[in-house]
Amino acid sequence: MSDTDTALDFDLDRLRGGTPPRNHDARTIAALTANPGCARRGVMDAAGVDKDFLARELGFPSPFGQSQFAITRGNVFEAQVKADGCAELLTLLRERLGLEVPEVAYDDLEVVAGNEGRELRHARTRRLLARALESGEGTLFDHPLLRLEIAGQVAYLEPDVIAFQLRGRLHVIEIKSFAVVDGQAEPEQVAAAARQSAVYVLALRRLVAELGHRPDRVSHEVFLVCPENFSNRPTATPLDVRPQLAVLERQLARLTKIDRIVGELPPDLTFAPGDALPEAVRAVEARYAPDCMSSCEMAFFCRDEARACGATGTLGRSVRDDLGGVDSIGTALGLAEGTLEPSDDLAETAVQLRTAARLRREVLGGAA
């Protein structure tokens, strides 16, 4: 290990306040892409800080995670779809999506000869996928155990998904228990499923590349399987996860440059519990937006902070983006009303805000 690595380990240890790094899983990796511009989240994730613990220490616990009811419903639906060697899933792929699925081989990689050790399971996943890629044989691989390196740490991914080989390409099948009603599902849930599937696609692509094959042997098209119209009958929808993959790869590359990120922080910064914790967290810039509420454990703390300083992000990411470099609602109002003189870089935004304010006055005046 080099001196630089040792120094970095020491810095990360200090940031975490001496606690061990939190392991990533597919959900936490997928969430990395939800707000890539947030330095606070970037630092905490790179250092492996337990954000859930930190939020509780700050007095802003987040009610993250699924309810027991949703977990049970999800498990029942998944077991039904995968029963009898994925019989129902195969019917769905053949009949509903019109895929020509040939004779089927099904391998469950969850347990190896009664042994659930992660290294052993990952080795078996590698072996079976290598054979399938060479021979074109093998169709369904249930519970493949994948690995992905995040900021120098290896994260094991234990997806419920299935890797499905069709015409020499592997597709990820993600089974979710939220309903598709009249062909529509909750967009936020579909977006979260797409982000999570992209993590599996990337991990599978890296494994396929390690095995000496082209990464595009893993397709960017995944199949999302959900219950249809509140029944337990499954339906499948193809999803193109290329945009999510691009964001994920960019964000992971950013996290590997962790020494640079850490180098820009105050040298004695630590997220150790104590009176100084809120100040330490505020020392790292955040970019709060309402969608943080569904993707980050720090959301209640950051929302409180953003509201207290009237940050434009509290109005939503699109409003903040439309306002360019104007970070506070007070500044936006001052520019719109002409009570604040804009700096050179905000001159154009100020003109647009004044025009919008004038139009609003005219419309409201007309209505009166």
Q: How far is the CB of 300 from ligand SF4 (least distance, A)?
A: 8
The residue range among 33-41, 75-83, 89-97, 236-244 that interacts with ligand SF4, by the rule CB under 6 A, is 33-41
Binding mask 182-211 for ligand SF4 (x = CB under 6 A): ------------------------------
Residue nearer to ligand SF4 on the CB measure, 38 or 335: 38
d(CA 329, CA 279): 23
Residue the block writes with tokens 């200090």:
14
Q: How far is the CB of 7 from ligand SF4 (least distance, A)?
A: 25
**Which tokens hold the place of 269?**
């910064």
Q: Does 299 bind ligand SF4 (CB under 6 A)?
A: yes
**Which tokens hold the place of 314?**
């509290």
Partner residues linked to 224 by β-bridges: 174, 237
Q: How far is the CB of 180 from ligand SF4 (least distance, A)?
A: 28
The residue range among 132-140, 157-165, 293-301, 321-329 that interacts with ligand SF4, by the rule CB under 6 A, is 293-301
d(CA 350, CA 344): 10
**Contact positions with ligand SF4 (CB under 6 A) in 41-60:** 41
Q: Does 33 bind ligand SF4 (CB under 6 A)?
A: no
**Which tokens hold the place of 151?**
């900021």
Q: How far is the CB of 301 from ligand SF4 (least distance, A)?
A: 7
Concatenated DSSP letters for 159-185? -S-EEEEETTEEEEEEE--S-BBTTB-
Q: Each residue of 78-112: b (16+ CB within 10 Å) or e? A: beebbeeebebbbebbeeeeebebeebebbebeee
Give long-range contacts, CB 8 A cutoff, 24+ apart: 70-74: 70/177, 73/177, 74/176, 74/177
Residue of the chain from 171, 213, 287, 320 that contacts ligand SF4 (CB under 6 A): 287
Q: How far is the CB of 148 from ligand SF4 (least distance, A)?
A: 20
Q: How far is the CB of 353 from ligand SF4 (least distance, A)?
A: 24
The residue range among 77-85, 151-159, 282-290, 356-364 that interacts with ligand SF4, by the rule CB under 6 A, is 282-290
Q: How far is the CB of 294 from ligand SF4 (least distance, A)?
A: 10
Residue nearer to ligand SF4 on the CB measure, 99 or 198: 198
Residue of the chain from 288, 314, 320, 350 that contacts ligand SF4 (CB under 6 A): 288
Binding mask 128-147 for ligand SF4 (x = CB under 6 A): --------------------
Closest alpha carbon to 293 in 306, 302, 280: 302
Concatenated DSSP letters for 46-71? HHT--HHHHHHHTT-----S--HHHH
**Contact positions with ligand SF4 (CB under 6 A) in 242-271:** none
AA identity, residue 334: G
Q: How far is the CB of 254 from ligand SF4 (least distance, A)?
A: 14
Radius of gyration, CA atoms only, the chain: 24
Total binding residues toward ligand SF4, as defined by CB under 6 A:
12
d(CA 362, CA 32): 44
Residue nearer to ligand SF4 on the CB measure, 15 or 236: 15
Residue nearer to ligand SF4 on the CB measure, 146 or 302: 302
Q: Does 298 bind ligand SF4 (CB under 6 A)?
A: yes
d(CA 166, CA 248): 25
Closest alpha carbon to 28 in 15, 17, 13, 44: 44
d(CA 267, CA 22): 22
**Which tokens hold the place of 152?**
């120098």
Q: How far is the CB of 230 from ligand SF4 (least distance, A)?
A: 32
**Which tokens hold the place of 254?**
């950013």
Residues that bind ligand SF4 (CB under 6 A): 35, 38, 40-41, 286-288, 292, 296, 298-299, 302
